[in-house]
Amino acid sequence: MATISFPTRLRALAAEQPNVAAVSCAGTTLTRSALQSSATRLARELRGHGVGSGDYVTVALPNSTDWFVAYLACWILGAVPQPTSAKLPARELAALVELAESKVVIGAPESAVALLPDEIVHLPLGHVPDPAVSDNPLPDAVSPAWKAPTSGGSTGRPKLIVSGDPAIYDLDAPLPFELQPDGCLVMPGPLYHNGPGVWACQALLAGNHVVLLPKFDAAATLDAIETHRGDVVYMVPTMMKRILRLEPDVRLGFDLSSLRIVWHLAEPCPAWLKQEWIDWLGAERIYELYAGTEAQAVTIITGTEWLEHRGSVGRVTTGEMKICDEDGTDLPVGEQGEVWMRSNRDTPTYKYVGAEAKVLEGGWESLGDIGWFDTDGYLYLGDRVADMILSGGANIYPAEVEAALNEHPLVESCAVIGLPNDDRGSDVHAIVQAIDIADGDLLEFLADRLATYKMPRSFEYVTQPLRDDAGKVRRSALRAERLQS
């Protein structure tokens, strides 16, 4: 196995083709050589602020070429990039910086900076290293962890998920995610989330042109694929739905002939939505992946396989998975229970900072998902244990109700939670982003799609999206807000 550091890999790509586009966003493009130059200057500046091997640097930047400059600068020093959203509440962002013990924070808003200790250096949004600083290569270094993203999970409590993989590139390994040399990845998702960050970094290391959207826009995503001849695109079902809601003459007016692979992950994909994408682009282009940021185990399914195992998220391709009841006893094929995962590597795939893993004897870990396997080894998911609603003795999974609601053409987004009921234990409460729709219309629409006991007992209408651009929703936080009010 021939391995080199991430910085060495990217320097080699720049030396081979210095003027090839590396990253583009919002009309700005950095060539491979320009990315190297900017990142090296920033690395020298970070080193001047005391950043060295193994130190964390919090990167609170939006999707931009600057995000990649910051990441590469960290790798050049052997430091660990710790991405987070600048839109987090100031106290939560400051708490993450404290967890990471970061020496430098890049791009955080002033409200969060005001809460940080004085010794932490802050480089504001738009910061550019002094062009007079040398961009000559620094000594080679290897980050002990190539990323350390954050997660609030279903509990809403932030934690760091530090990768168990150092920033080492295997020259002999096949390219991941069906990437091809000299390809183009279109990334509409926010890079501070693990999935978008992983796909984008791996595409960069593969020598791809990474085309970022500043934020998700349905038409702009299709335009980016057409303009840059994107061959791989990363999606979450929320994005897929919004693209389908474009007027047909708009959606079908883009040339997507270059597109080979549509990856979707990060949230449950309703069967009707996946079927529409298969009907539009062809089953061979649609790929789904299921895993946690922790990466103990992974399942993958192609659209062709999905047509034969409708609703599945695929077979295990990395690590191991099994289904257990609430006592930790293994369940047979077809029975629903908690999904447990185990890595078959010799080294850990991750470590938590600020949390403890949920474990069973033998090294099995759970992310809290419910699921079952069919006789062919394909996994099907229900929902998260923490989000399940127990009403009148029946288990109701919010994702199933949300999938039915999302089929309605006037529903932009939704979230389903359980609210206390003295008689039944909990009632299903639907929070819906929609305009000009009535409870009666929704109940009539849902009557053909849900059993009576799964129907929402109450509706609430909002004007803001309930999922972010990564498809994430914190049901626990939504429930807590409503209980307080």
User: How many Cα atoms occupy the beta-carbon half-sphere of 222 within 13 Å?
Assistant: 21
Q: Please spell the DSSP secondary structure of 56-77, one letter per residue.
A: EEEE-PPSSHHHHHHHHHHHHH
Query: What is the pTM (predicted TM-score) of this model?
Result: 0.86
| Residues in a beta bridge with 429 | 417, 458
Per-residue pLDDT in tens (0 to 9) along the chain, 485 residues:
799 999 999 999 999 999 999 999 999 999 999 999 999 999 999 999 999 999 999 999 999 999 999 999 999 999 999 999 888 888 889 989 999 999 999 999 999 999 999 999 999 999 998 889 999 999 999 999 999 998 754 444 678 999 999 999 999 999 999 999 999 999 999 999 999 999 999 999 999 999 999 999 999 999 999 999 999 999 998 899 999 999 999 999 999 999 999 999 988 888 999 999 999 999 999 999 999 889 999 999 999 999 999 999 999 999 999 999 988 999 999 999 999 999 999 999 999 998 888 888 899 999 888 999 999 999 999 877 778 787 876 778 888 899 889 889 899 889 999 998 877 778 999 999 988 888 888 999 998 888 888 999 999 999 988 887 777 788 878 888 888 87
Which residues are CB-neighbours of 24 under 8 A, at least 6 positions away? Answer: 30, 65, 209, 210, 211, 212, 228
CA distances from 12 to 9, 205, 209, 454 (A): 5, 10, 15, 57
- The domain ranges of the chain are 268-385, 388-484
Q: Please spell the DSSP secondary structure of 328-356, one letter per residue.
A: S-B--TT--EEEEEE--SSS-SEEEES--
CA distances from 23 to 30, 67, 123 (A): 5, 10, 21
Output the CATH code of domain 268-385.
2.30.38.10
Spatial contact of 210 and 175, defined as CB atoms under 8 Å apart: no
| Residues in a beta bridge with 80 | 56
Topology of the domain covering 388-484: GMP Synthetase; Chain A, domain 3 (3.30.300)
